[in-house]
Amino acid sequence: MKNLFLFTMVCCLLCACNNRSKKNISGPIETQVLIETNMGNMTVKLYNETSRHRANFLKLVKRGIYNGVLFHRVINDFMIQAGDPDSKHASDTTLLGNGFVGYRIPAEFVSKYYHKRGALAAARESDEENPKKESDGSQFYIVTGKVFTSEKLYELVKEKNENRYQAVYDSLKRPLLKEIDRFRKLGNKAALLELQDKIENERDQVLCKETPFDYTPEQKKVYTTIGGVPHLDGEYTVFGELVSGWDVVDRIQQMKTDKNDRPLKNVVIKKMVLLP
């Protein structure tokens, strides 16, 4: 009997150690939030690596900022967007999407988090107004997306690299605009060509030090099977993902909308609840 007791204790200790080991391997538990809407409930989890966005989202949830806001922008096969504080009690004709809580959040681009179907990401203003790609303080979206072919992904990779190529060129050209304008007014084509060669050489030196953009094998597999919105990668911060409520998201994305992509029937977030 004594030996049986000792054997049982040893097994319990081994199981406890094994569980602790598994917990350490998996890392910290990711916080989950329940989103209750008049169309049904969804659950999202927040990534620990995007800590600023995680902390901000939880702060707004705890303060009840999201209670009563609408999913004000819905585009089928793309995403559903919410979080505009002005959408609370808004009339049917109110133009939504410009509501602001008064601050932005610095971008947190983590390469392993991307715009797959179900991704939770932060909305933001355009690059012209927001070159640092900082996130809006409250507005977010859930990706619905679509499935892409390998050929289409290749085209997106090519386009992203061309855009990067042009962006570097433009950044090197910008300080020389006054000089370029002066040579144009003088009709000095030789000087203009010399400046162009200089900019192109500097651009090539910058780019040769960097690795060209490409999707990872995992991303390619996901985008060609599950789907998503790959062209948004590296442009908007992904800080979580949908855990449950896929049917609710699909019902919302299929709703009829007006010319501003606002659903004709209001989709209301009744409340958000931090799950234990």
Q: What's the confidence (pLDDT) of residue 18?
A: 47
60 close to 77: Cβ distance less than 8 angstroms: no
CATH superfamily of 32-147+226-274: Cyclophilin-like (2.40.100.10)
Q: Which helix (H) or strand (E) holds 271?
A: strand 269-274
Tokens matching residue 32: 């989950």
Q: What's the confidence (pLDDT) of residue 3?
A: 47
d(CA 276, CA 264): 35
256 close to 267: Cβ distance less than 8 angstroms: no
d(CA 158, CA 214): 9
Nearest partner of 121 among 225, 33, 46, judged by Cα: 46
DSSP 149: -
CA distances from 107 to 6, 56, 130 (A): 55, 13, 11
241-251: buried (b, 16+ CB within 10 Å) or exposed (e) per residue? Answer: bbbebeebbee
CA atoms within 13 A on the CB side of 113: 24
Q: What's the confidence (pLDDT) of residue 273?
A: 97
Q: Which helix (H) or strand (E) holds 104?
A: strand 104-105
Query: Distance between the two ends of the chain, CA-based, in angstroms?
Result: 41
Q: What's the confidence (pLDDT) of residue 27?
A: 60
Q: What's the confidence (pLDDT) of residue 16?
A: 45
Q: What's the confidence (pLDDT) of residue 23?
A: 42
The domain limits of the chain are 32-147+226-274, 151-207
DSSP 154-169: HHHHHHHHHHHHHHHH
Nearest partner of 71 among 274, 272, 238, 231, judged by Cα: 272
> Identity (one letter) of the amino acid at 119?
A
Q: What's the confidence (pLDDT) of residue 182?
A: 94
Q: Which residues of the chain have pLDDT under 50?
A: 1-25
- Asked whether the whole model's pTM tops 0.85, one would answer no
CA distances from 220 to 156, 229, 230, 236 (A): 11, 12, 9, 19
